[in-house]
Amino acid sequence: MKANEKILAGIKQTLETGDKITVDLREASALTGSGSGVGGQTFFDDVFAAFRYANPFRLGARQIKTPNMSDVQFVAKTGNAANSTNPWGYSFTPDSGSPNINTSIWQLPTRVITAQMPIRTAVLSDVNGLEKELIQDLIMEFAQLEGASMGLNNDQAGSTTTSTGGTNGLRGLNSYPGAAGASSAFGTSGTAITNGRHTIATVGHAAGALEHETLVDIANALPGQYWSSPTTAWMMHPSAIVALRNYVHGGINQASYAFVETGGNDAGSLLHVFGWPVIPNPYLDPIGTTGAKSVYLADWSKFLTIADVEEMTVQAMEQTAPGFVTMFAEKRMVSTVRDPFAGVRSIQT
């Protein structure tokens, strides 16, 4: 039976019985041979999306869930309760710490990432697994966007490029103060957006001179109490990893031995340095420009905190346009350096 005959028969049947009728328009063909349109119709394979680089900061950072709040406040105890000059014995002297105990606070507003996807309803019916794949890829896209903002955005000033958020984005690690030679320090205390901009200990290196000695200086600047933490790791821009594997010192390519770990060359493509894992992170500055911050060494669970608002909204809205469904997604979050003493970075001078 031809397709038009099947449709007419279905219409006749539903008029007679009032039932919902499904008309099967699949073709049965005895044709042999190959080629487009020969012997059948088009089959849609399951849809897929190209793999995205998710947010590597989440591999070690402290992650918390917050209720549906507009702001998140962080509080740090600073100073000492004990008098380090002479803490022994039973004598009691109030407020005699060295320095005296205090607290530092800072508050950040939650930031929102949104996406809108208009989709033809006919495509949703034709392409296998499209709706599920769109949601999965959107989650990865959000991870990509948050990673870039978490690493590179400056929340203190607007920008002609708003891809990382500007004043509406997260407080990027590379925007925290700290020139070459700087030591770690808490930022100013208060609830303004300018508070809590901590100084991060920073080691300088000349252009084209990111080398083994630079990493030694970075490791030396990280306080010893953070060395044995399971979340202590390097994060490096891929261009920094390449530069380190190719670096030349005194006219000799020293990459062949400088990164050999005790017990054999298990450094691979710089998988470990000084026993700490190396995590490639494209959301840092690439090597090559003055001021580039391309390498971090940190106890990430103490250094960086990511606060996610508990609810992530994904909603399909129909009738936005004839024949289309619009999917709307929204995610809110905050990120901050929590303990500035738990991380060290490089900077190109």
Residues 35-73: tens digit of each pLDDT: 666 655 666 666 667 778 889 999 999 999 988 888 999
Per-10-residue mean pLDDT, the chain, length 349: 67 73 63 58 66 88 90 90 78 66 91 85 70 80 93 87 89 96 95 96 91 92 96 95 74 57 51 90 94 97 94 74 79 95 97
3-state DSSP assignment of residue 260:
coil
| CA atoms of 116 and 127, how far apart (whole Å) | 20
Q: Three-state DSSP class for 10?
A: helix
**Strand, coil or helix: what is 255?**
helix
List, for residues 163-178, the tens digit of each pLDDT value: 899 999 999 999 999 9
Backbone angle region of 49, left / alpha / beta, with phi > 0 → left and psi within -120 to 50 → alpha? beta
Instruction: Please report the sign of the dihedral spanned by the C-alpha atoms of residue 166, residue 313, residue 45, residue 30.
Output: negative
- For every residue of 305-344, DSSP letters joined together read EEEEES--EEEEEEEEETTEEEEEEEEEEEEEES-GGGEE
Reported as a single tens digit per residue, the pLDDT across 215-244 is: 999 999 999 999 999 999 999 999 998 888
CA atoms within 13 A on the CB side of 251: 0
pTM across the whole model: 0.80
Position 32 scores a pLDDT of 53
Residue 262 is predicted with a pLDDT of 44
How does 27-46 read in b/e, with b if 16+ C-beta sit within 10 Å? eeeeeeeeeeeeeeeeeeee
| Angstrom distance (rounded) from CA 86 to CA 310 | 47
Specify whether the CB–CB gap between 108 and 137 falls below 8 A.
Answer: no
Q: Identify the pLDDT of residue 267.
A: 47
H-type helices in 127-205, by residue range?
Answer: 130-152
For position 37, what pLDDT does the model report? 60
Burial of 335 (0-12, 13-18, 19+ CB in 10 A): buried
Q: Which pLDDT value is given to residue 316?
A: 75
What is the pLDDT at residue 258?
61
- As a whole number of angstroms, the distance between CA 99 and CA 183 comes to 17
Q: Answer whether 348's CB lies under 8 Å from 294's CB.
A: yes
